[in-house]
Amino acid sequence: MTIQTLTLSQIQPSVLNPRKFFNDKTIEELAQSIKTDGLLQNLVVLKPKGKAKKYNIIAGERRFRAISHLVETGELDKDFPITVEIKEGLTDDEALRIATVENVQRENLSPLEEADALAMLVKNGEEIDNIVAQTGLSIATIRRRLMLLNLTETVKEALAEKKITLSQAEALTIGKPEAQDEVLEEVMDGYYTSSDEIKDKLVGELPTLAMAIFSHDQYTGSFTKDLLAEEDATYFDDVEQFETLQRQAAEQKVSEYLQSHDWAELQEGHRFNQWEYGEAEDGETGGVVVFLANDGTVTIYEGLTKTKAAVSTTNALKAKVKDFYPAPLCRYMGMHKSLAVQATILSNPRKAKELVVANKLAKFEPHNCLRYFEQEGVIPPALDIINQQASLLMSDMNISPNEEKQDWQTFGFDFRASKERAYDAVQLLTDEQLESVLLFLEVCEFGQGSLDRLDTIEGSLFNKIASDLSVDMRDYWRPDEGFLNRRNKMQLQAIMNECGASTKLASAAEYKKGELVKSLTKFFKSAKKAKKTTETDLKANDWLPEAMNFPAIDPDCASTQSGDIADKLEDEDAALGEDDEQDDDYAEAA
């Protein structure tokens, strides 16, 4: 061993270095440490052989890179002396061993790099005791690292990029390559997080080697081994073959016990029912139950006596025997069948539309606007149009009217929660009728989103559709008691001035609020019904509050000045007396 100084130009990284990835940030941090405190530990290099001129780094490539960074940034001179420990006459294997031990001890390697480095030591004949002593790793940790080499390249990449944790990667090692890649996506999507969940997903309900009561050499299938378990766990991949051999062995056990006991029988199920049997008295042999559980486990119960329990009672109380088609297989078949039906429906648009309509009928969720006016006993013109369409559809589908309900309710809820009945009904409709039902249901579920505030957003879907259709609220609504009752007297006075009612009605101050609401309601109705419209009628028919536009205009956001005026009107209104307060209370209740 020789200690001397070299320059950067005389040193080069070695291809034997087990570390393949370097973090630029940590290299920069190490560089600043070297700049401040100097090189606290020597590099270990291998003396050149033959015509080679450069020294290969055995240990200390991070320090080498940090110094290189300082030279590149001009913070150190290119001839900065680097103290090195020179080793001579080492083989590649010996150099690799030193590099591996140095990196592992300093925790500079990623788990995958550790795995590759440890594998090289093992392959080169290094004794396990020496590996443990030199790296400081336990045998269990070494085994866990080496198991990472069983991962697919996709899983290794996910681990290297920290998309999955080390414990998750270790759990994936027990799966076959195709299973690893399949489960990996579910792990990254968050469906499986713990190592136990991942293992359960990979081995499912596979029986373990410890469960088998038959000779293992009878089994000809493959195994899955979990070398990371506390106790080695090996699983039978061929469940069907395992079950056959296990049953044969259980039946053989029954035959053997019949030779030495009063009776013996084979039972199967989720669990053994101890309550069916008594215990044999001292000196009595009793009987035996060989119990084959649904998961394949066999348990022997000896020294039993049969009680007087009725067969019908015990059968009724027994747990269900193992299904011929267990849940995982049912799920597998159900998935295939669902895909097949989906693919077939795609080629039959009529059937697809029947499915859509049947689902909508069974899950009908009307917009709140359809129910809203029931409490007031009012049917607005737009709601009347909807009821008329519902009545026509009821006739097409032979649904009888209900005097206690509106037609949209009778039609919309007739097939509630029964997809099958709805499907049977829609099959009898013509294409045109089916289309009409679909459109009606979709329309009845649509409306303004938030109803407790004005929809002032021009780009909302509700306003976009209303704008595209040029919906004008004047065609469906005129100011009525429901609207006017919800305004105070100062606001009603402003409405009178804007709609022209002030030319026909006295000042608002001369009315109680209730009287003013009735007078204004009558005024708007008269203007709408007028056969010979006057200029005042036209002005009344044209009046519309800004909130009834698409999108709505919110006067509260218009200006501070308008807010000041509103406050002033509120103050004046409050001075009109208790009678008006009572009218306002009525309006709020309405």
Q: Where does the pLDDT of residue 125 fall: very low under 50, low under 70, confident under 90, or very high at 90 and above?
A: confident
Residues 6+ apart with CB under 8 A from 187: 164, 168, 172, 193, 198
The answer to whether the CB of 514 falls within 8 A of the CB of 492 is no
- pLDDT above 60: residue 487: yes
Q: Could you tell me how far CA 29 lies from the centroid of its own chain? A: 39
| Mean pLDDT of all residues in 163-167 | 89
Q: Where does the pLDDT of residue 19 fall: very low under 50, low under 70, confident under 90, or very high at 90 and above?
A: low
More confident residue, 317 or 111: 111
Determine which helix (DSSP H) or strand (DSSP E) holds 369, and give its type and residue range.
helix 369-372
Q: Given this model, what pLDDT does residue 479 score? A: 95
Per DSSP, the three-state class of 44 is: strand
- CATH class given for the domain over 2-143: alpha beta
The answer to whether the CB of 270 falls within 8 A of the CB of 294 is yes
Q: For 30-44, 242-256, 277-291, 327-341, which range has the lowest pLDDT when averaged over its residues?
A: 30-44
CA–CA distance, 501 with 484 (Å, rounded to integer): 13
Q: Given this model, what pLDDT does residue 315 score? A: 59
- pLDDT above 50: residue 66: yes
What's this model's pTM, rounded to 2 decimal places?
0.46
**DSSP conformational letter for 151:** S
| Mean pLDDT of all residues in 331-335 | 88
Q: Which long-range contacts (CB under 8 A, 24 or more apart) does 319-322 make?
A: 319/269, 319/270, 319/271, 319/273, 320/269, 320/270, 321/268, 321/269, 321/294, 322/268, 322/269, 322/270, 322/294
| Mean pLDDT of all residues in 441-467 | 94
Q: Given this model, what pLDDT does residue 590 score? A: 30
Q: Given this model, what pLDDT does residue 119 score? A: 77
| Mean pLDDT of all residues in 391-411 | 94
Q: Given this model, what pLDDT does residue 586 score? A: 31
- pLDDT above 80: residue 56: yes
Which ranges in 148-269 belong to alpha helices (H)?
153-160, 166-172, 177-188, 195-203, 239-258
Q: For 287-301, 511-525, 557-571, which range has the lowest pLDDT when averaged over its residues?
A: 557-571
Q: For 234-248, 419-433, 547-561, which range has the lowest pLDDT when averaged over its residues?
A: 547-561
Q: For 115-119, 227-231, 434-438, 570-574, which range has the lowest pLDDT when averaged over its residues?
A: 570-574
Please write the tens of the pLDDT for every residue from 495-522. Answer: 999 999 998 887 878 889 999 999 999 9
Residues 6+ apart with CB under 8 A from 328: 204, 205
Please write the tens of the pLDDT for every residue from 73-113. Answer: 888 888 888 888 888 777 766 776 676 666 555 545 678 87
Q: Given this model, what pLDDT does residue 104 score? A: 56
Count of CB atoms situated within 10 Å of the CB of 64: 19
More confident residue, 98 or 268: 268
More confident residue, 262 or 506: 262
| Mean pLDDT of all residues in 165-172 | 88
Residue 5: strand pairing partners: 83
Percentage of the chain surpassing pLDDT 90? 41
Give the domain ranges of the chain: 2-143, 330-444, 461-589
Average model confidence (pLDDT) for the chain?
82
